Amino acid sequence: MHVFVASLLLLVASVHAKILTLQSPRFVVLDSQGQQSRSEPISLTQKSRNPVFLNATDTLKVTFQVVDKESGEGTQPHQTFLRFYDATTDEEGIQPIRVTQGGKAKLELNMARPPLSLPPTGDVPLQVMLYIGQPNFSPIAVELFDLHVPHSQPPPAHPDEASFHLLPEIHHIFRPDQKLPYKLVSAVFSGLVIAPWFLLVGLWSQVSPRLTHLFSPNVLPFILSLGAYEFLVFYYWVDLKLGQVLLCGGVLAIINLFTGKHALSSIAKRRLNKD
């Protein structure tokens, strides 16, 4: 839609705009001796069928005069450019053309000293286009001819060019699965680890002191709160979050503090009385 409106506006503007034309446009190819090897008029309506070949020592000369079509007077346009474009590499070069106040323009392209505006060239010819712009005149944009010039050095790579490529795909490498020991070995060591428990129970049954006061009301709460602590820590492993454990542990700590103080001081009192 936007494109349509824009082109419509352009059409309206160009209907009202005055028209520029070129008088005696011409290009000449000169060799190193200054001899003309080719000389042709330029057509504004049709691109030249034969491409232009330039050797390393040749010179291309383009001349024309810009005139107002109505009055026939020469005018100096605001913008006058030649554009060299390589469609395969998308490289282009813009060469401004100096135009006199009378509208006369002359461009010399000496291949012995090629201008900086010429893009890097290869086997493919450059498309040469002429652009002329002037306020209140409809612009000129014509394709002149294809231009073969000697090969240039390949364009230098941009320093950051290497950063703009796909990186190799990331392959994650995982550690191989853990090998489990044989079931027999596992069973033997399970037995070995459990064995000290039997030893412990056996020894304790021999030397266990008599727990005379374990269930006295002074001591029992302390034992129970210690047991609650152990259960809390165990249950932390099974199901609880750290915050819950710290909260419950804090509450239990206060209980434990009082029960422990009471129980231990009662035991100490008994011990001192005995002494």
Q: To the nearest whole angstrom, how small is the minimum distance from the Cβ of residue 208 to another protein?
A: 6
Q: To the nearest whole angstrom, how small is the minimum distance from the Cβ of residue 178 to another protein?
A: 5
* Residue span binding another protein (CB under 8 A) among the ranges 7-15, 76-84, 151-159, 203-211: 203-211
* Residue span binding another protein (CB under 8 A) among the ranges 72-80, 159-167, 186-194, 213-221: 186-194
**Based on CB atoms, which residue is closest to another protein, 168 or 209?**
209
* Residue span binding another protein (CB under 8 A) among the ranges 34-42, 81-89, 157-165, 204-212: 204-212
**Based on CB atoms, which residue is closest to another protein, 28 or 245?**
245
Single residue of 57, 189, 244, 254 touching another protein by CB under 8 A: 189
Phi, psi of 108 (to 5 degrees): -115, 130
| 3-state SS record for the chain | CHHHHHHHHHHHHHHHCEEEEEEEEEEEEECCCCCEEEEEECCCCCCCCCCEECCCCCEEEEEEEEEECCCCCECCCCEEEEEEEECCCCEEEEEECCECCCCEEEEEEECCCCCCCCCCCCCCCEEEEEEEECCCEECEEEEEEEEECCCCCCCCCCCCHHHHCCCCCCCCCCCCCCCCCCHHHHHHHHHHHHHHHHHHHHHHHHHCCCCCCCCCCCCHHHHHHHHHHHHHHHHHHHCCCHHHHHHHHHHHHHHHHHHHHHHHHHHHHHHHHHC
Single residue of 11, 184, 207, 214 touching another protein by CB under 8 A: 207
Interaction between residue 174 and another protein (CB under 8 A): no
Interaction between residue 179 and another protein (CB under 8 A): yes
* Residue span binding another protein (CB under 8 A) among the ranges 49-57, 101-109, 125-133, 265-273: 265-273
Burial of 27 (0-12, 13-18, 19+ CB in 10 A): buried
Single residue of 230, 241, 243, 250 touching another protein by CB under 8 A: 230
Single residue of 159, 193, 243, 274 touching another protein by CB under 8 A: 193
* Residue span binding another protein (CB under 8 A) among the ranges 26-34, 60-68, 141-149, 188-196: 188-196
Interaction between residue 268 and another protein (CB under 8 A): yes
Interaction between residue 187 and another protein (CB under 8 A): no
| Crossing angle for the helix pair 242-274 and 220-238, to the nearest 10 degrees | 160
Residues that bind another protein (CB under 8 A): 178-181, 185, 189, 192-193, 195-197, 199-200, 203-204, 206-209, 226, 229-230, 233-234, 236-237, 245, 249, 260, 264-265, 267-268, 271
